[in-house]
Amino acid sequence: MSIVTRYGYDNFFVLVGIGIAIGVVAYLLRSHTAVAILLGGIAAVTIAFAFWFFRDPERTVPPHGDGAVFSPADGRVVQIAEVVESEYLGEAAIRISIFLSPLDVHVNRYPVSGIVEYVRYHPGTYLVAWHPKSSELNERSSIGVRTMRGRVFFRQITGILARRIVFDTKVGDTVQAGERFGMMKFGSRMDVFLPTGSRITVGVGDRVRAAETIIAELP
């Protein structure tokens, strides 16, 4: 297993290259102690951030029933609301919104097992991820999965810092809860839409971990 996610190789190697270049300059200016120390520190922080942000830790999915819905992202639950979801479900639903800070793992995992029925990418704006309209206006991907207990819909949503969404999901894919499917780069948000009869097992303010935290049970 790679220490760094394959979804972030492009940005990772750019950041590491920048860090190395700054380090080389620091070495060339080693006779200027203060400048060399400053540049060396910047180089170290840049490389350390690249490894930290694009890390891809292993996760073990705990034992669960066929109605379990796992968090698709690491982060904090910022909203649980009843809404009308018209893009895929076409009916009233419960939306669980998870905010990811730049310090969270940004690799995303499927929240449920089933067959992918819907995939769509939407270009858009870059409102802050916790803005109520970010789910509708920001750059985002939309994925719908049919499970044994019904349909589940989820969105990767960019924030003011996140300017790129990566996913490799296709209509017709058979997916398993906890499998990786993409990432959101830098600060971002994940919305999960569930049938109204679902039992929600998290609350606003709770910390969740992708593939490990059960956020709901489908009816």
* Whether residue 47 is found in the same domain as residue 89: no
Render pLDDT for 145-186 as a digit per residue (tens, 0 to 9).
999 999 999 999 886 665 678 999 999 999 999 999 999 887
* Whether residue 74 is found in the same domain as residue 133: yes
CATH code of 196's domain: 2.70.70.10
Catalytic residue positions? 188
* Whether residue 87 is found in the same domain as residue 171: yes
* Whether residue 95 is found in the same domain as residue 161: yes
Domain that holds residue 13: 6-53
Distance CA 80, CA 125 (A): 23
* Whether residue 97 is found in the same domain as residue 128: yes
* Whether residue 79 is found in the same domain as residue 160: yes
Q: Angle at which helices 9-28 and 33-53 pack, to 10 degrees?
A: 170
| Residue 139: per-residue pLDDT | 82
* Whether residue 31 is found in the same domain as residue 136: no
* Whether residue 42 is found in the same domain as residue 134: no
The DSSP bridge pattern shows strands 188-195 and 75-85 to be unpaired
Render pLDDT for 11-62 as a digit per residue (tens, 0 to 9).
899 999 999 999 999 999 999 999 999 999 999 999 999 998 899 999 999 9
4 class by beta-carbon count within 10 Å (0-12 exposed, 13-18 middle, 19+ buried) = middle
Is 118 domain-assigned? yes
Render pLDDT for 117-144 as a digit per residue (tens, 0 to 9).
999 998 866 665 555 565 666 788 999 9
Q: 148 forms bridges with which residues in the sheet?
A: none
* Whether residue 28 is found in the same domain as residue 72: no
Is 58 domain-assigned? no
Distance CA 121, CA 102 (A): 22
Is 21 domain-assigned? yes
Cβ atoms of 25 and 17 within 8 Å: the answer is no
What is the number of structural domains in the chain?
Answer: 2
Please, how many CA atoms are within 13 Å of residue 49, restricted to the half-sphere of its CB?
A: 17
* Whether residue 102 is found in the same domain as residue 201: yes
* Whether residue 72 is found in the same domain as residue 179: yes
